[in-house]
Amino acid sequence: MTRASDTARLLGAGGTLNGALSVDTISEKTSGSGVTIDSLNVKDGGIGGHQIGGRRNIIINGAMQVAQRGTSETGIGASAGYFTLDRFRIQPTSTAGRLTMEQVADVHDGFANALKLTCTTADTSIAAGERLLLHQKIEGQDLQQLKKGTSDAEEFTVSFYVKGNANATYALEIYDLDNNRQISKTFSVTTSWNRVILTFPADTTGAYDDDSAASIQMSIFLHAGSTYTSGTLNSSAFASNNNANRAVGISSFFDSTDRTFFLTGLQMEVGSQATPFEHRSFGEEQALCQRYFCLFADNNELIGGGGYQSSTFPDVAVQFPVPMRTGPTLVQTSGTNYYGVVTHNALPETFNDFTVAYTSSNVNQLLYPNQNVSGTQGSYGRFQCQGSGKISFSAEL
Torsions phi, psi for 303 (to 5 deg) = -95, -45
Burial class (CB in 10 A: 0-12, 13-18, 19+), 231: middle
Residue 7 confidence (pLDDT): 42
Q: Distance (Å, rounded) from C-alpha 124 to C-alpha 128?
A: 12
Residue 359 confidence (pLDDT): 79
Closest of 329, 303, 321, 293 to residue 386, by C-alpha: 303
Residues sharing a CB contact under 8 Å with residue 62, sequence separation 6 or more, in sequence order: 160, 264, 265, 266, 267, 277
Query: 3-state DSSP call for residue 68?
Result: coil
Local mean pLDDT, 10-residue blocks, the chain (397 residues): 43 41 50 51 49 82 98 98 98 98 98 98 98 98 98 98 98 98 98 98 98 98 98 98 98 98 98 98 98 96 96 96 97 97 88 91 96 94 94 98
Q: What is the DSSP string of 173-204?
A: EEEETTTTEEEEEEEEE-SS-EEEEEEE----
What are the structural domains of the chain?
Answer: 4-44 (no CATH), 72-289 (2.60.120.260), 291-394 (2.60.40)
Q: What is the DSSP string of 144-170?
A: GGG-TTSTT---EEEEEEEEESS-EEE
Residue 152 confidence (pLDDT): 98
**Percent helix, strand and coil across the chain, each rounded to 5?**
10, 45, 50
Residue 52 confidence (pLDDT): 60
Q: Is residue 131 a contact partner of residue 217, using CB atoms and an 8 Å limit?
A: no
Residue 55 confidence (pLDDT): 87
DSSP class of residue 290? H
Q: Distance (Å, rounded) from C-alpha 20 to C-alpha 38?
A: 14
Q: Distance (Å, rounded) from C-alpha 150 to C-alpha 336?
A: 57
Q: Would you put residue 34 in left (φ > 0), alpha (ψ -120 to 50) or beta?
A: left
Closest of 3, 43, 11 to residue 27, by C-alpha: 3
DSSP class of residue 142? G
pTM (2 decimals)? 0.88
Residue 360 confidence (pLDDT): 85
Q: Distance (Å, rounded) from C-alpha 295 to C-alpha 81?
A: 16
Q: What is the DSSP string of 246-261?
A: SSTT---GGG-TT-EE
Residue 341 confidence (pLDDT): 96
Residue 346 confidence (pLDDT): 80
